[in-house]
């Protein structure tokens, strides 16, 4: 939902319901019953089974682009820098005033992805630090309320649509290091649920006033915006599975969230990493350490393997490999081709990550590598 709209998203949802909202938004944009551009080749199946058409497309897609970009990119130490360095929330918040994204060019990124033979883009719209790359009503901690003054989700979704690429919205759901009522140590046993501030950061609600339901409502609202403000999307990619698995996962009310996504975007695919509610999710997306277990538990479900173009060095902090790492080595075209071959041998897609530089541009080595990969893939046809 964009600022020019007169009704607050959550007020609208409350007054008319999720299903009615989906219908109204579809009619308003002329999108009702329209086949999303990335599913055009499956139009016949889409008319009968939108999700079936999306799953068929996904199995054929083979190759996608992952993008980790946010405030953490400004520091060049990976996406977990706030956690590892225990940066106080007030100090980390100041990074927003330096976020310009001046060279984040969604159309160039989409062209690069298409040229590499990729069929979709998965953009990290919110990571653990809770900074949002879209025009959200849920918080002012977002890219529109920064010097960038831009809705990067809108730009990327539009650029993908122009190229016929699918667009997946990634939302960090299990971890949130900023929300006052986000997952807390007394509720969830995973050690990295919050940075180890000592004493606890005053930004957080104290235990006697803590209300996890407020965080669930916040997350639901954010995902709802991503599913209602950007036209047909390929799907929703939730992360942070370690947290709900470390306690009572039912408190996150994820099945209810899935039902809302289905109402808003009936064709959209849903993933919660390697599977939080496998019977309700459309595909699995393990990282390297999780691949073997995912292969055993996939039960015929589509899968993508998540790898990155940055190489882990001896000094790379654990869990910090996806956002830009200053000085990291980058994979070669030969290595990417080997990744593609390995994914194909597992009947899986490759979701290959780039960590844009602080200004939003893609690392020149990654651009050159993906250009060469595309050349090789075309030559092999």
Would you say residue 323 lies in a domain?
yes
Name beta bridge partners: 284.
Answer: 303
Query: What percentage of the chain has pLDDT greater than the value 70?
Result: 90
User: What pLDDT, on the 0 to 100 scale, is given for residue 318?
Assistant: 67
Residue 15 within any structural domain of the chain: yes
**pLDDT-derived band of residue 32, with 50, 70 and 90 as boundaries?**
very low
Lowest-pLDDT range, 11-15, 37-41, 150-154, 270-274? 11-15
Residue 1 belongs to some domain of the structure: no
33-40 long-range CB contacts below 8 Å, 24 or more apart? 34/232, 36/166, 36/232, 36/233, 36/234, 36/267, 37/161, 37/164, 37/232, 38/119, 38/120, 38/160, 38/164, 38/165, 38/166, 38/167, 38/234, 39/267, 40/164
Within a domain: 3 = no
- How far apart CA 174 and CA 29 sit, in angstroms, is 32
pLDDT band at 60, cuts 50/70/90? Answer: very high
What is the C-alpha to C-alpha distance for residues 173 and 128, in angstroms, rounded to an integer? 8
Q: What is the Cα 372 distance to its own chain's centre? A: 26
Q: In the predicted model, what is the mean pLDDT of residues 221-234?
A: 97
What confidence tier does 33 reach under pLDDT thresholds 50, 70, 90?
Answer: low
The CATH number of whichever domain residue 28 belongs to comes to 3.20.20.80
Q: Residue 188's pLDDT is what? A: 97
Residue 28 has pLDDT above 90, yes or no: no
Q: Mean pLDDT across the chain, nearest whole number? A: 91
Give the tens place of pLDDT for each residue, 87-141: 999 999 999 999 999 999 999 999 999 999 999 999 999 999 999 999 999 999 9
Number of domains within the chain? 1
At residue 312, the pLDDT reads 78
Confidence check: pLDDT of 22 > 90: no
- Rounded to an integer, what is the distance from CA 10 to the centroid of its chain? 21
| Residue 344 maps to a domain | yes
Average pLDDT (26-48) is 78
pLDDT at residue 264, as a whole number: 97
374 part of a folded domain: yes
In the sheet that holds 269-272, the strands lie side by side as 269-272, 235-239, 166-172, 120-126, 63-67, 349-354, 304-308
For residue 48, pLDDT over 80 is answered with: yes
pTM for the structure as a whole: 0.92
Domain hosting residue 265, numbered range: 9-380
pLDDT class of 17 with cuts at 50, 70, 90? very low
pLDDT (mean) for 48-75: 98
Residue 2 lies in a domain: no
Extended beta strands in 84-213, E state: 120-126, 166-172
Answer yes or no: is 233 within a domain: yes
Tokens read off for 226: 């991503």
């Amino acid at each position: 939902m964009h600022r020019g709209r007169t009704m607050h998203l959550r007020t609208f949802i409350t007054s008319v319901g999720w299903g009615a909202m989906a219908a109204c938004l579809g009619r308003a944009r002329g999108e009702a019953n329209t086949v999303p551009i990335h599913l055009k080749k499956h139009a016949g199946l889409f008319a009968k089974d939108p999700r079936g058409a999306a799953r068929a497309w996904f199995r054929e897609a083979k190759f996608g682009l992952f993008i980790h970009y946010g405030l953490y990119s400004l520091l060049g130490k990976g996406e977990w820098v706030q956690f590892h360095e225990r940066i106080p929330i007030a100090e980390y918040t100041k990074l927003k005033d330096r976020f310009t994204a001046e060279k984040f060019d969604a159309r160039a990124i989409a062209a690069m992805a298409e040229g590499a033979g990729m069929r979709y883009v998965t953009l990290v719209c919110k990571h653990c630090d809770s900074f949002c790359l879209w025009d959200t009503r849920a918080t002012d901690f977002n890219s529109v309320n920064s010097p960038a003054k831009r809705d990067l989700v809108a730009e990327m979704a539009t650029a993908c649509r122009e190229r016929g690429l699918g667009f997946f919205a990634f939302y960090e759901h299990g971890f949130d290091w900023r929300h006052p009522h986000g997952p807390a140590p007394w509720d969830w046993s995973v050690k990295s649920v919050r940075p180890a501030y000592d004493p606890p950061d005053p930004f957080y609600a104290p235990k006697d006033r803590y209300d996890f339901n407020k965080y669930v409502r916040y997350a639901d609202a954010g995902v709802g915006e991503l599913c209602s403000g950007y036209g047909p999307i390929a799907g929703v990619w939730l992360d942070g599975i370690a947290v709900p698995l470390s306690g009572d996962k039912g408190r996150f009310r994820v099945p209810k969230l899935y039902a809302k996504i289905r109402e808003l975007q009936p064709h959209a695919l849903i993933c919660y990493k390697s599977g939080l509610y496998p019977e309700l999710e459309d595909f699995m997306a393990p990282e390297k350490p999780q691949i073997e277990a995912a292969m055993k538990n996939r039960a015929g479900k589509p899968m993508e393997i998540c790898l990155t173009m940055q190489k882990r060095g001896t000094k790379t902090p654990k869990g910090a490999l996806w956002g830009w790492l200053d000085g990291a080595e980058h994979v070669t075209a030969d290595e990417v081709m080997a990744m593609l071959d390995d994914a194909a041998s597992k009947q899986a897609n490759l979701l290959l990550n780039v960590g844009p530089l602080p200004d939003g541009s893609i690392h020149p080595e990654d651009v050159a590598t993906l250009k060469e990969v595309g050349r090789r893939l075309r030559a092999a046809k």
